[in-house]
Amino acid sequence: RKLRSIDDQRIYTAGIRLPQEATQHFPFPQELEKQASSIQMWMGRSRQNHALTKLHCDIYTSLLVQIWGKKRARLYPPQHHCYLYPMQAFRGYQPCLVNPLKPDIQRYPEFLKAQCFEVEINPGDMLVIPSGWFHSLEAEGLNFSVSRGIPLEAASDCKLPL
Protein backbone atom coordinates (compact mmCIF):
# COMPACT_ATOMS: atom_id res chain seq x y z
CA ARG A 1 0.00 0.00 0.00
CA LYS A 2 1.19 3.48 -0.73
CA LEU A 3 1.28 6.71 1.17
CA ARG A 4 -2.09 8.32 0.53
CA SER A 5 -2.92 11.99 0.48
CA ILE A 6 -6.53 13.07 0.07
CA ASP A 7 -5.78 16.73 0.61
CA ASP A 8 -3.14 18.89 2.26
CA GLN A 9 -4.29 17.86 5.75
CA ARG A 10 -4.27 14.05 5.54
CA ILE A 11 -1.32 11.84 4.75
CA TYR A 12 -1.34 8.23 5.94
CA THR A 13 0.58 5.05 5.14
CA ALA A 14 -2.45 2.73 5.49
CA GLY A 15 -0.62 -0.41 6.61
CA ILE A 16 2.76 -0.56 4.93
CA ARG A 17 5.01 -3.45 5.93
CA LEU A 18 7.60 -2.32 8.48
CA PRO A 19 11.11 -2.44 6.95
CA GLN A 20 13.04 -5.55 8.03
CA GLU A 21 15.77 -3.40 9.61
CA ALA A 22 13.24 -1.92 12.05
CA THR A 23 11.53 -5.14 13.19
CA GLN A 24 14.09 -5.74 15.96
CA HIS A 25 12.64 -2.72 17.77
CA PHE A 26 9.21 -4.37 18.00
CA PRO A 27 9.71 -7.78 19.68
CA PHE A 28 6.90 -10.32 19.57
CA PRO A 29 6.32 -13.48 21.66
CA GLN A 30 8.44 -16.24 20.10
CA GLU A 31 5.66 -18.86 20.36
CA LEU A 32 3.43 -16.73 18.10
CA GLU A 33 6.06 -15.54 15.65
CA LYS A 34 5.44 -18.23 13.01
CA GLN A 35 1.68 -17.71 13.07
CA ALA A 36 1.67 -13.90 13.03
CA SER A 37 1.42 -11.63 10.04
CA SER A 38 4.27 -9.30 9.20
CA ILE A 39 4.49 -6.06 11.19
CA GLN A 40 2.45 -3.31 9.58
CA MET A 41 3.13 0.35 10.27
CA TRP A 42 0.48 3.02 10.33
CA MET A 43 1.92 6.51 10.19
CA GLY A 44 0.70 9.95 9.25
CA ARG A 45 -1.80 12.57 10.19
CA SER A 46 -5.50 13.10 9.70
CA ARG A 47 -8.11 15.77 10.03
CA GLN A 48 -10.44 15.98 13.01
CA ASN A 49 -13.61 13.89 12.66
CA HIS A 50 -12.26 11.88 9.72
CA ALA A 51 -11.46 8.20 10.05
CA LEU A 52 -7.97 6.98 9.31
CA THR A 53 -9.29 3.47 8.97
CA LYS A 54 -12.88 3.01 7.80
CA LEU A 55 -15.25 0.66 9.61
CA HIS A 56 -14.35 -2.99 8.95
CA CYS A 57 -13.53 -6.29 10.63
CA ASP A 58 -10.44 -8.44 10.15
CA ILE A 59 -10.18 -12.21 9.89
CA TYR A 60 -7.22 -12.11 12.31
CA THR A 61 -7.04 -10.84 15.85
CA SER A 62 -5.09 -7.58 15.62
CA LEU A 63 -2.53 -6.35 18.14
CA LEU A 64 -2.23 -2.59 17.63
CA VAL A 65 0.57 -0.79 19.51
CA GLN A 66 0.59 2.99 19.64
CA ILE A 67 4.11 4.45 19.39
CA TRP A 68 3.44 8.21 19.28
CA GLY A 69 0.40 10.38 19.03
CA LYS A 70 -2.95 9.00 20.04
CA LYS A 71 -5.86 7.30 18.34
CA ARG A 72 -9.48 6.66 19.12
CA ALA A 73 -10.91 3.27 18.24
CA ARG A 74 -14.60 2.56 17.82
CA LEU A 75 -15.28 -1.15 18.40
CA TYR A 76 -18.52 -2.97 17.56
CA PRO A 77 -19.16 -6.56 18.70
CA PRO A 78 -19.68 -9.27 16.04
CA GLN A 79 -23.35 -9.71 16.95
CA HIS A 80 -23.98 -6.12 15.74
CA HIS A 81 -22.83 -6.88 12.18
CA CYS A 82 -26.40 -6.64 10.88
CA TYR A 83 -26.50 -2.95 11.93
CA LEU A 84 -23.19 -2.06 10.26
CA TYR A 85 -23.99 -2.91 6.65
CA PRO A 86 -20.91 -5.05 5.94
CA MET A 87 -20.09 -5.88 2.34
CA GLN A 88 -20.91 -9.51 1.59
CA ALA A 89 -17.85 -10.22 -0.54
CA PHE A 90 -14.47 -9.60 1.06
CA ARG A 91 -10.92 -10.88 1.32
CA GLY A 92 -8.77 -10.49 4.42
CA TYR A 93 -11.03 -7.89 5.98
CA GLN A 94 -14.71 -7.02 5.65
CA PRO A 95 -15.46 -3.34 5.00
CA CYS A 96 -18.77 -1.73 5.92
CA LEU A 97 -20.88 0.67 3.89
CA VAL A 98 -21.83 2.93 6.80
CA ASN A 99 -19.51 5.68 8.05
CA PRO A 100 -19.77 5.68 11.87
CA LEU A 101 -18.52 9.29 12.09
CA LYS A 102 -21.16 10.63 9.70
CA PRO A 103 -23.81 7.93 9.31
CA ASP A 104 -26.42 8.41 6.59
CA ILE A 105 -29.42 7.26 8.61
CA GLN A 106 -31.73 7.50 5.59
CA ARG A 107 -29.65 4.85 3.77
CA TYR A 108 -28.52 2.89 6.86
CA PRO A 109 -31.31 3.20 9.47
CA GLU A 110 -30.32 0.05 11.39
CA PHE A 111 -27.02 1.69 12.34
CA LEU A 112 -28.86 3.48 15.16
CA LYS A 113 -29.13 0.10 16.93
CA ALA A 114 -25.38 -0.54 16.90
CA GLN A 115 -23.57 -0.15 20.20
CA CYS A 116 -19.94 0.80 20.14
CA PHE A 117 -17.14 0.91 22.65
CA GLU A 118 -14.80 3.88 22.28
CA VAL A 119 -11.21 3.52 23.42
CA GLU A 120 -8.38 6.02 23.29
CA ILE A 121 -4.90 4.56 22.87
CA ASN A 122 -1.80 6.53 23.81
CA PRO A 123 1.93 5.89 23.34
CA GLY A 124 2.84 2.57 24.93
CA ASP A 125 -0.72 1.20 24.84
CA MET A 126 -1.64 -2.00 23.01
CA LEU A 127 -5.18 -2.57 21.83
CA VAL A 128 -6.26 -6.16 21.14
CA ILE A 129 -8.99 -6.20 18.49
CA PRO A 130 -10.52 -9.69 18.44
CA SER A 131 -11.25 -11.37 15.12
CA GLY A 132 -14.76 -10.52 13.95
CA TRP A 133 -15.00 -7.25 15.87
CA PHE A 134 -15.77 -4.31 13.62
CA HIS A 135 -13.67 -1.21 14.18
CA SER A 136 -12.65 2.16 12.82
CA LEU A 137 -9.78 4.39 13.92
CA GLU A 138 -9.40 8.15 14.17
CA ALA A 139 -6.47 10.33 15.12
CA GLU A 140 -5.74 13.99 15.51
CA GLY A 141 -2.35 15.16 14.44
CA LEU A 142 0.75 13.15 13.67
CA ASN A 143 0.77 9.55 14.90
CA PHE A 144 2.57 6.23 14.47
CA SER A 145 1.53 2.72 15.41
CA VAL A 146 2.39 -0.85 14.46
CA SER A 147 0.21 -3.93 14.30
CA ARG A 148 0.35 -7.66 13.78
CA GLY A 149 -2.40 -10.13 13.12
CA ILE A 150 -2.65 -13.57 14.64
CA PRO A 151 -5.18 -16.32 13.86
CA LEU A 152 -8.13 -16.62 16.23
CA GLU A 153 -6.99 -20.02 17.54
CA ALA A 154 -3.55 -18.68 18.46
CA ALA A 155 -5.02 -15.54 20.01
CA SER A 156 -7.32 -17.50 22.31
CA ASP A 157 -4.31 -19.43 23.68
CA CYS A 158 -2.16 -16.31 24.08
CA LYS A 159 -1.52 -14.96 27.57
CA LEU A 160 -0.42 -11.32 27.35
CA PRO A 161 1.18 -9.63 30.38
CA LEU A 162 -0.94 -6.89 31.93
CA distances from 3 to 39, 41, 42, 45, 135 (A): 17, 11, 10, 11, 21
Q: What's the whole-model pTM score? A: 0.82
Distance between CA atoms of residues 116 and 138, nearest Å: 14
pLDDT tens, the chain, 162 aa long: 444 455 545 566 777 888 888 888 888 777 777 788 888 898 887 666 667 788 999 989 999 999 999 999 999 999 999 999 999 877 778 999 999 999 999 999 999 999 999 999 999 999 999 999 999 998 878 889 999 998 866 655 666 554
